[in-house]
């Protein structure tokens, strides 16, 4: 982010969750202040109000469950923009106070979505334990730390934060699961393009017709812009009117994405720009290379075509 | 549903939530047994195991937060199908034990997403109350009933179930918000077409290219099939490979939807059919009529074209 | 045409054809010199060589039969551009030397395509006359003028030019048939936009795939550019590789057509610009209004979207 | 062609043209009767009237100039169907009476389009000869045979038919040029599919909008049907309303082409089927293999998808 870098961070709390772990992977956040928020809305509002410089909130596949809420909160109210994404491996651990053995565990605290993701492991290793629902992974770790429960399903950061011992790690049924977080700030110049960027949009369509969505996709396709995510959400007033959240390859500063954005602006009821930011490369994408621009759609091709058009307009045909 | 109607119902619990309220709007469920489940996964698995005949789970805009979970659970494991949808107005109430006045309320129990949706009302009417996060709307009502908290934000059914008085109703900031639930059963013949049906699908695409999604939409568009919802979800193993959840207008027994389904089957890596069922008409859709088939795409048009093709193939041109 | 207006005109001869009649509808041509050419290729080459300033040649539905030839000759060799179109009602007459009555006519000279278009009339009124093929409508009139044939099917200008009497007019079976001519010049600044213009293109596609043609049409469709004509032509070397001749609504100076042209330049193997020129409004289009830009695609909409993009790029979101 | 094979053939005359040469490449025609017609319309009408069994007429790149006429004549009147295509190399020769040397040639008879195609050769080898326009290649050969002209540009069959000597062969500027002819009959069962067939259609579209044409192409593209030719023609009454002539890969008996045809029937104002017939493989296509059905679009894929749909409809999900 150009200008003064953020120093005051807020994140979806409580402490000891994957969101805190994701935030602390950013050097600036490690150096700055980190305040948990009770909800995504509260986190974003504290940025809007100027009480924080940036908020880290879950975007996708969140075991905290708040994806839809994040999208809705970004689409309404004062505009905010994503300046970074952080993709984190969701490595659940079973943690307990030091000295506890697996056979001594009769109660396990867990967020309902966390216990859902570890159903297979629990069935195989703790078939008789009672799973107690709590409000977050952090609350589970805290409850195990105070002795309220024998153990907790939580994030590694939750175990270490409450001085728990890890009895088993990577206990989720899908060992490769990840959660995607966004760092969100007040509007400003976007981070410079890196050649491997994403752009997030909220696109409003007047009707729920497939033809309207086809028009949106055609605006992208003719400029060689790929979608990595699409999600329709009801607009709040009633089901049946929709906003589409799109993640596209490319940066607002790229010629072809710029042309595609203008096209969306013209054909859609409304478009809200939610930020251009570098794609996070992580372990699961180690072997993947950024997809180059399709033939004819690089910035060089755009410049060539623009020069050709100028010659046509002045009568200097080749 | 043909055959023996379901009599044993399970729903996303606990008791006193909107899911129970939605379930009880079905006469068969009012007559049958109704068992709360601790999670969407548990509810669906009890149907898969034959312990219940049908499960009521949230699909969209859920204040219980489980939308993504429902989709994921439907897309994996033994196939299940949706046989009904229920759309419910989300009318949050503030409830307390009889005799409590607004000025006496210092603590309010609420699910985090419920308090988020009522933020404006709380700021205006209870600016000094402490909001305590609990795991569900039902748990909030229960906590107010026992006196643990002074009041609860909950569903009307939660208030009555715990003998609470409603101090204020319709306190959500979006008064028209609704939640959409699905009644899910083991596979069987779909309910008969009504002329105003929806069909739900999980569609797997090999690549994250916009071209692949365009192909899917073109299969629908050329048969005049509309989308009322689209949501991409990572496939679990890793971000970057996607499954799309689609709700389409029409019934699997309709000629044009049948042709579109066959087209999807041919061009997609995989398609899972999640059911055809009548569209729920509710207050918010009172003025809306079912969208008729576009010109040239009714079943009559299909029959005419098929007869014409037969004449071409036998040489009897007109 | 900016600069020195053309004064030396060439047209597809011989004298007395519809091409001469179309040329003489232009005031500048009526004042300048008018030279018939033996073929479309000869006419265009005399412009290329600087021996003429402009050539009038048939483009479409020509009863002279040369449409394909015109397209091929425009697509190869030194570039030329269309600066005007002229649409002419094809009103065939039966003409003979003064004093001849219908019953005295035993031989009728006609270009084969002219007699084809008047088949019904000939069958009804001159069932016993022998139709003699000649090379052009002008040659038919000339032959009747010299007495070689009793009568000619020709253009009104052919009858008057050879001092013939018109025995019957509008004898074509399709009374509303028209021919479309193009006035062709060496490259130069195009005539200014009028708000109701056409642009002609030759577009080369690498493969004969419908997907390639779909790509071309999508480039036009997303910018709201309509096609009024499309014609594929083999590229000369062999059948199977194609060039498409397109007539589009709009002017090269229009923002949206400019963007569409750049898109074609990028995705096609080659694009040759064949001119932007005012659409000819004639009797048959009397009631038609120019089609306005579709919603969101006017030059004003383009300017608005460009300004919005600038704000996004600088971080001044609205 | 099933049933009685044709024995009475008519072709676009006069004798000694490429059309006669193409017709004689068919064994049945070599054995049967061959009658020249004065025009494409006359040839087709003699089939319609039962006076001939089949007509050979030019379809594409015809140096006889009649392409558009053929299309128009096929689209109107009693339906006819193409049962074969014949692709012929257009090898113009310069022919003269025996004993004539190149230096003795002062006049050359040629159809205007033939002399156009040989412009380069004439400029290089006979710069001072006068080229005299005649009505057909056959007429040119005849005129050279009678001594009216010193030489003729004509087809090999024209030279041999009028006992002329070939002074130079392959004199066209594009040595690989070909003409495509169609053998046309009254409607009947189409020839059996060969795995490498073409289907010709006349498709009427209500409006001249690119959107309407896009709809047509989408109907083809989603079934993997390729276009090998597209040509728009005004409908006769007036410019601005169009019929599109399409040549598609595949046979009316193929499942996917059948489905595409039904789709066109539903979305277009009208569709006229002009025949399914084997693609002519000739020297220029020696190295080309028939394009196989795209992934997912073979008849086997269609059968699989149809079986899957049946299972969905009966509730036997897999």
Give the integer Cα–Cα distance in Å for A260 and A294: 15
What is the pLDDT at residue B312? 85
Tell me: pLDDT of B246 over 70.
Answer: yes
A17, A59, A68, A239: which to substitute to probe chain B, counting the most B Cβ within 10 Å? Answer: A239
pLDDT beyond 80 at C293: no
**Residue D289: CB partners within 8 Å, gap ≥ 6?**
none
User: What pLDDT does D65 receive?
Assistant: 47
Structure token pair of residue A189 = 């110049």
C312 and A252 in contact (C-beta within 8 Å)? yes
Domain match, A137 and A198 both: no
User: Who wins on pLDDT, A289 or D80?
Assistant: D80
Q: For residue D157, how many other CB atoms are within 10 A of its CB? A: 22
Contacts of D234 in chain C (CB under 8 A): 60-61, 178
Amino acid B289: pLDDT: 59
Choose among A103, A111, A104: nearest CA to A137: A111
Mean per-residue pLDDT, D74-88:
91
Which residues on C lie below 8 Å from A253 (Cβ)?
A: 313
At C180-233, the pLDDT tens digits run: 899 999 999 999 999 899 999 999 886 555 567 888 888 888 888 888 788 877
pLDDT tens for A252-263 read: 998 889 999 998
Min Cα–Cα distance to chain D from B248, Å: 16
What span, in angstroms and rounded, lies between the C-alpha atoms of A163 and C211?
61
pLDDT tens digits, D298-317:
778 888 888 888 888 888 87
CA distance D96 to A133: 102
**Strands in A38-164 per DSSP E:** 54-60, 81-89, 93-96, 107-110, 130-133, 151-154
The confidence score (pLDDT) of residue A2 equals 46
- Same domain for C128 and C55: no
Whether the Cβ atoms of residue C177 and residue C88 lie closer than 8 Å to each other: no
- Across the interface, whether the CB atoms of D305 and B221 are under 8 A apart is answered no
What are the helix and strand counts (H, E) for chain A? Answer: 11, 14
Question: Distance between CA atoms of A248 and A197, rounded to whole angstroms?
Answer: 9
Residue C222 is nearest to which of A252, A258, A263, comparing CB atoms? A263
Residue C104 lies in a domain: yes
Q: Residue B56 and residue A7: Cα distance in Å, rounded? A: 46
- What distance in Å separates residue B86's CA from the closest CA in chain A? 12
What is the CA angle B29-B32-B36, rounded to 5?
A: 75
In a domain, C306, yes or no: no
- Which structure tokens are listed for A114? 């966390």
Q: Do D222 and B261 touch (CB under 8 A)?
A: no
Contact C121, C168 (CB under 8 A): yes
Nearest CB to D113 within list C69, C240, C285: C69
Instruction: Check CB contact under 8 Å for D309 and B219.
Output: no
Q: D268 to chain B: nearest residue by CA?
A: B296
Q: Is residue C294 part of a domain?
A: no
User: How much of chain D exceeds pLDDT 90, in percent?
Assistant: 46
Q: Which of C188, C219, C235 is the last residue of a domain?
A: C188
Give the whole-number percent of chain B exceeding pLDDT 70: 86
Of the candidate ranges A240-249, B45-54, C157-166, D43-52, the one whose mean pLDDT is the lowest: A240-249
Contacts of D297 in chain B (CB under 8 A): 266
C131, C69: one domain: no
Contact between chains at C68 and D87 (C-beta distance less than 8 A): no
B228 backbone dihedrals φ, ψ, rounded to 5° = -105, -10
Per-residue confidence at D2, pLDDT binned at 50, 70, 90? very low
- Residue (of D155, D151, D160) closest to D172 by Cα position: D155
| Phi, psi (degrees; rounded to nearest 5) at C114 | -70, -45
| Residue B2 confidence class, pLDDT cut points 50, 70, 90 | very low
CA distance C311 to chain D (A): 32
Which of D113, D236, D244 shows the shortest C-beta gap to C177?
Answer: D236
Say whether both C198 and C262 belong to one domain: yes
- Is C230's CB within 8 Å of D232's CB? yes
- Contact yes or no for A187 and C259 at CB 8 A: no
Decide if C121 contacts C171 (C-beta within 8 A). Answer: yes
Q: Which one of D189, D314, D318 has the shortest CB-CB distance to B315?
A: D189
Does an H or E element contain C293, and which? none
Average pLDDT, chain D: 85
Mean pLDDT estimate for chain C? 85
Residues facing residue C80 across a β-bridge: none
Average pLDDT over residues D46-60: 94
> Strand D54-60 to strand D8-12: parallel, antiparallel, or no bridges (unpaired)?
parallel
Residue C58 CA to residue C70 CA, distance in Å, equals: 7
The neighbours of chain B, by the rule of 3 or more Cβ pairs under 8 Å, are A, D
Residue A1's pLDDT is 43
What is the nearest CA distance from B264 to chain A, expressed in angstroms?
15
In this complex, do C60 and D210 lie within 8 Å of one another by their Cβ atoms? no
The verdict on B227 and B282 lying in the same domain is: yes
Q: Give a yes or no: residue C155 inside a domain.
A: yes
Torsion sign over Cα D286, D288, D291, D295: positive
Mean pLDDT for back-to-back runs of 10 residues, chain A (318 residues): 75 88 93 92 94 92 60 87 91 94 95 85 94 89 96 93 94 81 93 93 74 82 84 60 84 90 87 93 61 71 84 78
Q: Is there a single domain that holds both residue B12 and residue B159?
A: no
Do residue A23 and residue A120 come from a single domain? no
Domain count, chain D: 3
**Mean pLDDT lowest among A27-36, B213-222, D45-54:** B213-222
Question: Which CATH number belongs to the domain containing residue C232 in this structure?
Answer: 3.30.70.260
Contacts of B266 in chain D (CB under 8 A): 296-297, 301-302, 305
- The C-alpha atoms of residue A306 and residue D270 are separated, in whole angstroms, by 41
Which residue does chain B place closest to A37, by CA atoms? B112
Q: Which of A186, A249, A246, A192 is nearest to A55 (CA)?
A: A186
**Together in a domain, D183 and D202:** no
* Predicted local distance difference test score (pLDDT) of residue A191: 93
* Neighboring chain C residues of D67 at a CB cutoff of 8 Å: 68
Return the higher-pLDDT residue of C293 and B312.
Answer: B312
A108 close to A175: Cβ distance less than 8 angstroms = no
In this prediction, residue D285 carries a pLDDT of 58
Does any domain span residue B18?
A: yes
Q: pLDDT tens for residues B131-152?
A: 998 888 899 999 999 999 999 9
Chain C hits for A305, Cβ within 8 Å: 261-263, 265-266
* Bigger pLDDT: D64 vs C197: C197
Indicate whether A151 and A225 sit together in one domain: no
Question: Are B29 and B53 found together in one domain?
Answer: yes
**pLDDT tens column, B272-286:** 999 999 988 766 555
Is pLDDT at C63 greater than 60 in this prediction? Answer: no
For A221, which of B60, B214, B227 is closest by C-beta distance?
B214
H/E element, C318: none
Pairing of strands C33-37, C107-110: unpaired
SS3 assignment for A203-264:
EEECCCCHHHHHHHHHHHHCCCCCEEEEEEEECCCCCCCEEEEEEEECCCCCHHHHHHHHHH
Q: Do C58 and C19 meet the contact criterion of CB atoms below 8 Å apart? A: yes
Is residue C310 included in any domain, yes or no?
no
Please state, in angstroms and rounded to a whole number, the distance separating the CA atoms of residues C159 and C17: 10
B112: phi then psi, degrees, rounded to nearest 5: -55, -40
Sort out which chain B residues have CB atoms less than 8 A from D253's CB and list them: 313
Give me the numbers of helices (H) and strands (E) for chain B, helices first please.
Answer: 11, 14
CA distance B215 to chain D (A): 7
Confidence tier at C238 by pLDDT (50, 70, 90):
very low
Residue among C134, C208, C227 minimizing CB distance to D210: C227
Residue owning tokens 């996708």 = A60
d(CA A70, CA A60): 9
Structure tokens at A234: 């009801």
Of D188, D215, D317, the CB nearest to B79: D317
To the nearest whole angstrom, how far is the Cα of A181 from the nearest Cα of chain B? 12
Please report residues of D whose CB lies closer than 8 A to that of C68.
61, 65, 67-68
Q: How confident is the model at residue D1 (pLDDT cuts 50, 70, 90)?
A: very low
Q: Is residue B174 part of a domain?
A: no
* CB pair distance less than 8 Å for A214 and B218: yes
Q: Please, what's the b/e burial string for C55-81 (b: 16 or more CB within 10 A of its CB; e: otherwise)?
A: bbbbbbbbbbbbbbbbbbbbbbeebbb
Cβ-defined contact of A60 to B115 (cutoff 8 Å): no
Judge whether B209 lies within some domain: yes
Mean pLDDT check: name the lowest of A186-190, B125-129, C12-16. C12-16
Looking at every residue in chain B, the average pLDDT score rounds to 85
CB D178 within 8 A of CB D87: yes
Please say whether the dihedral angle defined by the alpha carbons of residues C20, C21, C22 and C28, taken in this order, is positive or negative: positive
Q: Measured between beta carbons, which residues in chain A are less than 8 angstroms from residue B242?
A: 229
User: Half-sphere exposure of A27 toward its Cβ, with a 13 Å CA cutoff?
Assistant: 1
The answer to whether B90 and B177 have CB atoms below 8 angstroms apart is: yes
Q: What is the pLDDT of residue C47?
A: 97
Q: Give the pLDDT score at B1.
A: 43
Q: Which tokens in the block code for residue D159?
A: 């030279």
User: Is the pLDDT assigned to residue D146 strictly greater than 80?
Assistant: yes
Q: Are C279 and C290 in contact (CB under 8 A)?
A: yes
Per-residue pLDDT at B239: 47
10 Å Cβ neighbour count for C29? 22
- Residue B3: is its pLDDT beyond 60? no
Encoded tokens for A68:
């839809």
- Extract the tokens encoding C138: 């002008």
**Which residue in the set A188, A261, A317 is minimally distant from C309, CB to CB?**
A261
The CA–CA distances, whole Å, from D287 to B258, C10, C240, D283, D292 equal: 40, 44, 13, 9, 15
pLDDT in tens, D191-205: 999 989 999 999 988
Residues of chain C in contact with residue D237, where contact means CB-CB under 8 angstroms, are 174, 176
Q: Quote the domain boundaries for residue B162.
A: 93-169
What Rg, from alpha-carbon coordinates, does chain B have?
Answer: 23
Q: Give yes or no: residues D268 and D163 share one domain.
A: no
The pLDDT value recorded for residue B174 is: 76
Q: Contact C137/C153 with Cβ under 8 angstroms?
A: yes
Residues B67 and B183 in one domain: yes
**Beta-bridge mates of residue C199:** C248, C276
Judge: A265–C317 Cβ closer than 8 Å, yes or no.
Answer: no
Helices C67-75 + D67-75 axis angle, to 10? 130
ipTM score assigned to the predicted complex: 0.78
Whole-angstrom distance, CA of residue B234 vs CA of residue A79: 27
What's the CATH number where D185 sits? 3.40.190.10
Give the minimum alpha-carbon distance from C253 to chain A in angstroms, rounded to a whole number: 6
Which ranges of chain B does DSSP label H, i.e. alpha helix? 18-23, 27-31, 40-48, 67-75, 112-117, 119-125, 137-146, 156-161, 210-221, 255-267, 299-314
Q: Are residues A22 and A61 in contact, defined by beta-carbon separation less than 8 angstroms?
A: no
Q: Say which residue, B192 or A280, is predicted with more confidence.
A: B192
């Amino acid at each position: 982010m150009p200008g003064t870098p953020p120093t005051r961070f807020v994140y979806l709390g409580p402490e000891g969750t994957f969101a805190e772990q994701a935030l602390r992977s950013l050097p600036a956040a490690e150096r700055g202040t980190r305040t948990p928020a009770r909800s995504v809305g509260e986190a974003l509002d504290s940025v809007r109000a100027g009480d924080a410089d940036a908020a880290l909130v879950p975007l996708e596949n969140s075991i905290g469950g708040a994806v839809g809420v994040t999208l809705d909160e970004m689409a309404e109210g004062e505009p905010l923009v994503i300046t970074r994404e952080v993709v984190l491996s969701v490595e659940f651990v079973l943690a307990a106070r030091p000295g506890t053995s697996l056979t001594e565990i009769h109660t396990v605290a867990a967020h309902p979505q966390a216990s859902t993701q570890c159903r297979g492991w629990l069935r195989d290793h703790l078939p008789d334990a009672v799973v107690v629902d709590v409000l977050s992974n952090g609350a589970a770790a805290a409850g195990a730390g105070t002795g309220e429960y024998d153990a907790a399903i939580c994030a590694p950061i939750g175990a270490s934060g409450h001085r728990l011992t890890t009895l088993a790690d990577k206990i989720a049924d899908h060992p490769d699961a990840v959660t995607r977080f966004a760092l969100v700030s007040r509007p400003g110049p976007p981070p410079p393009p890196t050649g491997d960027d994403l752009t997030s949009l909220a696109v409003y369509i007047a009707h729920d017709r497939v033809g309207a969505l086809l028009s949106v996709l055609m605006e992208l396709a003719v400029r060689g812009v790929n979608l990595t995510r699409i999600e329709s959400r009801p607009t709040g007033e009633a089901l049946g009117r929709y906003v589409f959240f799109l993640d596209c390859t490319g940066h607002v500063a790229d010629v072809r994405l710029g042309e595609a954005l203008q096209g969306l602006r013209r054909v859609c009821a409304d478009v809200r720009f939610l930020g251009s930011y570098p794609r996070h490369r992580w372990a699961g994408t180690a072997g993947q290379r950024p997809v180059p621009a399709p033939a004819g759609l690089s910035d060089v091709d755009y410049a060539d075509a623009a020069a050709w058009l100028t010659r046509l307009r002045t009568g200097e045909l080749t």
